[in-house]
Amino acid sequence: MKILLVEDEEGLILTLTDRLVSEGFEVASVRDGKAGFELASSENFDLIILDLMLPKMNGFDVCRDLRRNEDQTPILMLTAKGETIDKVLGLKLGADDYLTKPFEVMELLARIEALLRRSSVNNGHSEHGFRFGNVAIDFRRAEVKKGSMALELSAMEFKLLQYLVENRGAVHTRDHLLDAVWGYDAMPTTRTVDVHIAWLRQKLEENPKHPQFIQTVHGFGYKFAA
């Protein structure tokens, strides 16, 4: 698996390269957006880690131009704290996920794993469904069954469930889920996330009070058990 790292912070380049190499990835790194765009256009990578603020060409423009060229390589955008609107723009421009600095390397690894799994699903290496416990999800039909019974999920419940499942193993803060699932138009609050999580547990978990799959990570948020 080859990863392109486009980042201008020397310390972060060293730390991430070290860690990714030790996890078995092949890593190429460049320090400005223009070089990132050029390398991504000339070589094949399995994933691109793209910083937002970069010399010569920013992460948005790199992302937009790659997508314009029909380059579907998964992009994980790195943003700094407070770049909230920018995060959404990043996703609209075609980034697949984002992570806010500073982050734990473990979290980065979990997101990389999720993106790679998702892109292999999209490439047809895997089915369009997912099963856990006695629940079966059909992503293409947006249907969920528990045993033989079809469950009624609202559109937002389904989107939230899909996001959690596709990124299983990764911990998501409420704010992250709001950005990723709801977007900004609806202006919901983090309470909205808690309510939808509770509804999903009611519908999917054997014991909603002691959820096996949709787990609370105290002090952080939620994750779907890997």
Q: At its nearest, how many Å lie between Ca ion and the CB of residue 122?
A: 29
Nearer CB in complex with Ca ion: 8/61: 8
Looking at 51-59, 64-72, 102-110, 116-124, which segment touches Ca ion (CB under 5 A)? 51-59
Q: Which of residues 173-202 bind Ca ion (CB under 5 A)?
A: none
Say whether residue 53 binds Ca ion (CB under 5 A): yes
DSSP readout, 49-115? EEESS-SSS-HHHHHHHHHHTT----EEEEEETT-HHHHHHHHHTT--EEEEES--HHHHHHHHHHH
Task: Report, in Å, the least distance between residue 172 CB and Ca ion.
Answer: 23
Q: Does 57 bind Ca ion (CB under 5 A)?
A: no
37 or 213: CB nearest Ca ion: 37
3-state secondary structure of 205: coil
Asked if 93 and 101 touch (Cβ cutoff 8 Å), the reply is: no
Q: Sign of the CA dihedral 154, 155, 158, 163? A: negative
Asked whether position 51 contacts Ca ion by CB under 5 A, the answer is: yes
Give CA–CA dist 169/224, Å, rounded: 6
Both tokens of 107, joined, read: 């979290």
Q: Which stretch binds Ca ion (CB under 5 A): 8-16, 65-73, 105-113, 156-164?
A: 8-16
Cβ proximity to Ca ion, 31 vs 117, nearer residue: 31
CB of 110 to Ca ion, least distance (A): 22
Distance of closest approach, residue 200 Cβ to Ca ion, in angstroms = 36
Cβ neighbours around 207 below 10 Å, total: 8
Closest CA to 194 of 225, 221, 159, 219: 221
Binding range to Ca ion, per CB under 5 A, among 45-53, 58-66, 67-75, 195-203 = 45-53
User: Which residues in this chain contact Ca ion in the complex, by CB under 5 A?
Assistant: 8, 51, 53
